[in-house]
Structure 1
Amino acid sequence: MKIAIVISEFNNDISQNLLNGAFLRFKNNFLKNEKIKFEYEKDYYGRGDTSLTIFRVPGAFEIPAAVSQILKNNSIYDAIVTLGCVIKGKTAHFEFISNSVTNSISQISIHKKTNIPIILGVLTTFDYEQALKRSNPKDKDKGGEVMQAAVDTIKTFNKIKK
């Protein structure tokens, strides 16, 4: 399986946690016997038909555009996982960004030319502590959960295509 991750670097410590959880789940599913460790700066893990490629964008708002570009220019991926975090502040910015990202990813994923799963892993939380807890691979592990959702949905899509 070849999976792309598009990750926001805003709220970077939360994003790092999400990416670490996603990487660990990917490794446990496909690269158990490989002696590789997660390194945040690294953009590629894997070998042959099993790989994880990471694309970084500045913020959550840029995630849908990057997903669109991957779909237009690359047909090698079995799924795209999106990771990031939007934390509520004192302005309406949270609602605009959260709604825009969620709606855009949803629209991209159901577009008739999209033949692969697009998994939404952008946390929308009320505060930093909630984001930290949900992103921590040793706690809620939302990064691991969305990676597992990608793996499971790839299997479902493959079954449908048969």
Structure 2
Amino acid sequence: MATQLKNLSDFSNTTIPNAGAYRFGIVVAEWNAKITGALYEGAYQSLVDNGTLEENIFTYSVPGSFELTTGADILLKNKNLDAVICLGCVIQGETRHFDFICNAVANGVSNVSIKYSKPVIFGVLTTDNEQQAEDRAGGKHGNKGVEAAVTAIKMADLNKQLHD
């Protein structure tokens, strides 16, 4: 596996724009709270570390990953934001529920992004087990929340560049 020995949250080979001029929403799933909390901490800190003012980060919780799409839609409808980060964790179980949730969330996030012409970032872990989730929420493979925040910054900056 390509990720086995790799920290996926290494951005040393890319430039991250200053995020001081941007406003971000973060929607966090409460289900698998230990994992989503770690994703949130990574995303929030990355936004701040890259210049976002704390008062320009709007955080809301939703019950589970399935509700991330609706949360992002509500945020974009009611707040003037440059991007929304959706953070969740779906761990494979014994039924096909995993497949339905993952597909619905991925499609929903894309649809909300298209609906508002704003970046809506898919920061959802879809893992086979809890250990894989922990490895990607601040563990040996980095923090997907950090990656989602950097993606949000870069996409907000791209959107601004093309609209100025």
> Within 5 A, what are the aligned runs for 1:45-60?
46-47=54-55, 51-60=56-65
Distance 1:15 1:54 in 2: 13
Q: Report deviation, 1:138.
A: 6.7
Residues 3-41 of structure 1 show CA distances to partners (whole Å, capped at 9, x for unaligned) of 00001010000001100111121121016xxxxxxxxxx
Letter in 2 for 1:6: V
TM-score by length of structure 2 reads 0.82
1:98 to 63, 84, 102: 102
1:148 aligns with 2:150: yes
Aligned twin of 2:120:
118
1:61 aligns with 2:80: no
Q: Report deviation, 1:53.
A: 1.1
> Within 5 A, what are the aligned runs for 1:1-150?
1-30=22-51, 46-47=54-55, 51-74=56-79, 76-111=80-115, 114-136=116-138, 139-150=141-152
Distance 2:63 2:106 in 1: 17
Distance 2:122 2:108 in 1: 10
Amino-acid identity (%): 36
Q: Report deviation, 1:107.
A: 1.3
Give the total of aligned pairs. 143
Q: Secondary structure at the match of 2:142?
A: coil
Distance 1:72 1:21 in 2: 25
Q: Quick check: 135-144 or 120-129, which moved more?
A: 135-144
Q: Secondary structure at the match of 1:15?
A: helix
Runs of 5+ in structure 1 lacking a partner?
A: 32-44
Letter in 2 for 1:46: E
Distance 2:32 2:95 in 1: 17
**Contact in 2 for aligned 1:98/1:124 (Cα 8 Å):** yes
Q: Secondary structure at the match of 1:136?
A: strand
Q: Secondary structure at the match of 1:30?
A: coil
Q: Report deviation, 1:143.
A: 0.5
Runs of 5+ in structure 2 lacking a partner?
A: 1-21
Q: Report deviation, 1:137.
A: 6.4
Letter in 2 for 1:16: G
Q: Report deviation, 1:139.
A: 4.1
